[in-house]
Amino acid sequence: MSSPHKNSSIQAFFCPSPAPSRSSPTKQGPNSSIGDGFTSQEVEEALKSTPPMTWQPEVEYAECEIRDLYPGPRAVTFMGRIANIFDVAIAPKTPRSAKGCLKLCVKDDHDAITVRLWYANRFPNVRLGSLVSVWTNHISNGESGNISSSSAPLFASLFPERDRGCHLMVHENSDDGTMFKRPLSYREGRQIPNLMTLQNFIDGGYDVIGARILVIVKSIGQRKRVERKDGSSTENMNIQVQDDTAGAILGLWGTPCLSPAGTFADKDKDPANGSTKSTPLWKAGETVLLLKSPAWKIGRGTYLSLSTTTIVDVDPEMADADWLRRWASRQKIREAINPPFPEGVFDLQALMTSPLRCLYTFADLDEFSRAAPNETFQGYLSVLIMEIRLLENWKRGMLMCGECCSMPIYANSTTGTCKGCEKKVDLRLNPKILGQVIDETACVGPGKLLLSVHAWVDLLGCSPERLLELGSEELRHIAEQLLFSRLTLLFGWNREAGGRVCVMRISAG
């Protein structure tokens, strides 16, 4: 007779409890199961990038476009992009052992369909904009109202973990970002129906059935856990969006919060450093969203959110989206507190060696730039410094500044830490050190001149690194010498530089 246990102590009669350190890097604290009902092991399973189960269709599925689908039993497969995600509350009629359900809107270039996706142990790895393939044996008519929406009236119900006859595959590596990027009702060279500016939407356009707005992401807020009234919690994230007419907040709730960041919730803490950061999928100033029928609340600001009938196109293929990106990049430079000095735009050598010294006034420059906004101007300006704010900025810890995650960073140091992403950011001298500057025709306010690295050294007589080592007496001395002094600026002007006068070099007198 052989016993599995070496000694027959009382311990042998109890089931062994799992060793706490075994293969699980995430510690299971007493609160870790509160929230969505997933254990850390389940979440880890879901996060594995390799497909957890390789699915092989057992019968032949007819390949369809969404517009070719019709209600009834039939083995069909179709592709599209996720255009909406809605967390469905678990109801009594929930299939046995399902832990949750997502109501997805899947659209291709012509039509959309509602897909109910049940899950037990594998949280579906879907984002707004994900390219997916769906296999199902049945398409239903959503006449019961709640299940599907008017924009996606047919629906398919999938529970891949329980039913081998259906499947949803997210194309992560095979998505080159080109398929199914056309908005519904798109016609080459024609305006998309019901597309309006954000301001028009705010001014009453929201009443139009199927109203559409095209906006660009301006900033992406932090993901937060929010307590509901019933004690449960959900995730929330605010995205600042804008077009050239207005701005708004787009509030995301629940699973859609995963879309911008590209990671799972606080469940997926990176075991190495405990942070939840990853490469964002949505980028401020780049990601364009076409929202059809968003939910809205207009008060002091404009708050948009996703209703069950909203359709979201992430980076849709349309000319207006490219225009909006270009507009946003110009706008960003205009609004930036310390934009980088434009490289390769101006020709300092030509300016310095030219036998002709073209002396401008601020008034000339204003007039010429309005008359020929796409031209590049270079020349000389003779100015007087009326204000220098070296000491004030030093005292407030604002000698240097930069920007990250649409937030300003100030410090008396050449680097600073972003409050949004906690990254180290290189800082440059604060343009507001140079206060008001005048010539005979006009004055220019603080921060309106953009100085190159050379120009700053010309002005202050030392490098930023050296400046930061100086004490208040030395800084006061530099400021006093500069105040009311006459300087010659070698400048360039170009629309892409956000309407600022770019100072390449500075000489006295």
In sequence order, what are the beta bridge partners of 133? 79, 169
**Of residues 384 and 418, the one with the C-beta less far from Zn ion:** 418
Min dist. Cβ of residue 47 to Zn ion (A): 24
Sign of the Cα torsion 155, 160, 161, 165 reads: positive
**Of residues 418 and 468, the one with the C-beta less far from Zn ion:** 418
Going by their DSSP bridges, the two strands 212-220 and 195-196 should be labelled as parallel
- For Zn ion, the binding residues in 61-80 under the rule CB under 5 A are none
| Separation of alpha carbons 15 and 304, rounded Å | 53
Does 285 interact with Zn ion (rule: CB under 5 A)? no
In sequence order, what are the beta bridge partners of 292? 212, 311
- Is there a contact between 437 and 459 (Cβ–Cβ < 8 Å)? no
Does 404 interact with Zn ion (rule: CB under 5 A)? yes
**Of residues 318 and 404, the one with the C-beta less far from Zn ion:** 404
Min dist. Cβ of residue 222 to Zn ion (A): 11
Does 336 interact with Zn ion (rule: CB under 5 A)? no
**Of residues 249 and 405, the one with the C-beta less far from Zn ion:** 405
Report phi then psi at 365, rounded to 5. Answer: -60, -40
Instruction: Pick the stretch among 200-208, 306-314, 416-424, 472-480 that binds Zn ion (CB under 5 A).
Output: 416-424
Residue from 75, 418, 462, 468 binding Zn ion (CB under 5 A): 418
Q: Which residues have CB under 8 Å from 30's CB, separation 6+?
A: none
Burial 293-306 (b: 16+ CB within 10 A, else e): bbebeeeeebbbbb
| Separation of alpha carbons 467 and 459, rounded Å | 12
**Of residues 413 and 485, the one with the C-beta less far from Zn ion:** 413
**Of residues 335 and 440, the one with the C-beta less far from Zn ion:** 335
**Of residues 71 and 408, the one with the C-beta less far from Zn ion:** 408
Min dist. Cβ of residue 419 to Zn ion (A): 8
Instruction: Pick the stretch among 304-312, 339-347, 397-405, 454-462 that binds Zn ion (CB under 5 A).
Output: 397-405
Report phi then psi at 461, rounded to 5. Answer: 80, 10
Instruction: Pick the stretch among 169-177, 198-206, 334-342, 410-418 that binds Zn ion (CB under 5 A).
Output: 410-418
Min dist. Cβ of residue 219 to Zn ion (A): 10
Instruction: Pick the stretch among 137-145, 412-420, 455-463, 489-497 that binds Zn ion (CB under 5 A).
Output: 412-420
Residue from 405, 443, 462, 468 binding Zn ion (CB under 5 A): 405
Going by their DSSP bridges, the two strands 424-426 and 377-385 should be labelled as unpaired
- For Zn ion, the binding residues in 212-231 under the rule CB under 5 A are none
- For Zn ion, the binding residues in 420-449 under the rule CB under 5 A are 420-421
**Of residues 68 and 426, the one with the C-beta less far from Zn ion:** 426
# chain residues binding Zn ion, by CB under 5 A: 5
Instruction: Pick the stretch among 60-68, 367-375, 413-421, 484-492 that binds Zn ion (CB under 5 A).
Output: 413-421
| Separation of alpha carbons 480 and 482, rounded Å | 5
Structure tokens, 428: 């440059």
Q: In terms of Cα–Cα distance, which of 430, 351, 353 is closest to 392?
A: 430
Distances (CA, A) of 473 to 390, 399, 476, 494: 11, 16, 5, 38
**Of residues 283 and 357, the one with the C-beta less far from Zn ion:** 283
Min dist. Cβ of residue 425 to Zn ion (A): 7
| Separation of alpha carbons 26 and 188, rounded Å | 51
Gap between the terminal Cα atoms of the chain? 105
Burial 461-472 (b: 16+ CB within 10 A, else e): eeebeebbebee
Instruction: Pick the stretch among 135-143, 183-191, 251-259, 419-427 that binds Zn ion (CB under 5 A).
Output: 419-427
- The site for Zn ion (CB under 5 A) is made up of 404-405, 418, 420-421
